[in-house]
Amino acid sequence: MPPLQSWSHGDGQNTVVVFVYDGVSSTDVIVVADALAEPLSATVHLVAAQPGRVVAIEPARTIEAADLQSVSTPMGLVIPGGLAWKREVENPAVMRWLSDTAATSRGVVAVSTGSLLLAATGMLDGCEATGHWLANDLMTDLGATPSFTRVVSDRRIVTASGARAATEAAKELALEMLYGRT
């Protein structure tokens, strides 16, 4: 199977960027990014701390990622979950990029342990958030108030417990983004 690369649903005027890393859930990457990008007619760009091949899981596949700085000011940001999320938290360049990109994107979707990545930036300090059900203690340690719901949304930032919940929420977020409410 060839590596997954960026793809487009439109003319490229709108962009959705997905942060990927070794151990990322390929379901979170593909399904959630598609749910956000399709209504926006957006191009999906996959980016990583180190450009090149990334190994994804669930299902296993390789992803071809560009450099973090390859997309400036995307319309949307997807932060998928994965096994190695903690390694990414320890990378100051990744944390700066996630913080800056989340702050300037019109919509952000964080899935499963991807919510922990977003929380580690400080963007969820004092806010209710959801993610992987085994990570509620970590969510608290990172400054967020954990929720056991499938989705928590403040209209611009959405956290979801898993890919199915995130897919539904991403479609709703895209519609809000299209109609100028975010």
pLDDT in tens, 28-55: 999 999 999 999 999 999 999 999 999 9
Confidence (pTM): 0.96
Burial of 2 (0-12, 13-18, 19+ CB in 10 A): exposed
pLDDT digits (tens, 9 = 90+) for 68-87: 999 988 999 999 999 899 99
Q: What is the mean pLDDT of the chain?
A: 95
State the pLDDT confidence band at 146, using cuts at 50, 70 and 90: very high
Q: What is the pLDDT of residue 137?
A: 92
Closest of 154, 107, 108, 106 to residue 129, by C-alpha? 154
Q: What is the pLDDT of residue 94?
A: 98
Q: Are 39 and 171 in contact (CB under 8 A)?
A: yes
Question: Which of 45, 121, 119 minimizes the C-alpha distance to 77?
Answer: 45
Q: Max CA-CA distance within the chain?
A: 43
The reported pLDDT for the residue numbered 181 is 55
The answer to whether 3 touches 53, Cβ cutoff 8 Å, is: yes
What are 103-115's pLDDT values in tens digits?
999 999 999 999 9
Q: What is the pLDDT of residue 35?
A: 98
CATH number of 7-178: 3.40.50.880
Alpha carbon distances (Å) from 11 to 18, 43, 44, 85, 140: 18, 8, 11, 32, 41
Given a cut of 80, whether residue 1 has pLDDT beyond it is: no
Domain locations along the chain: 7-178
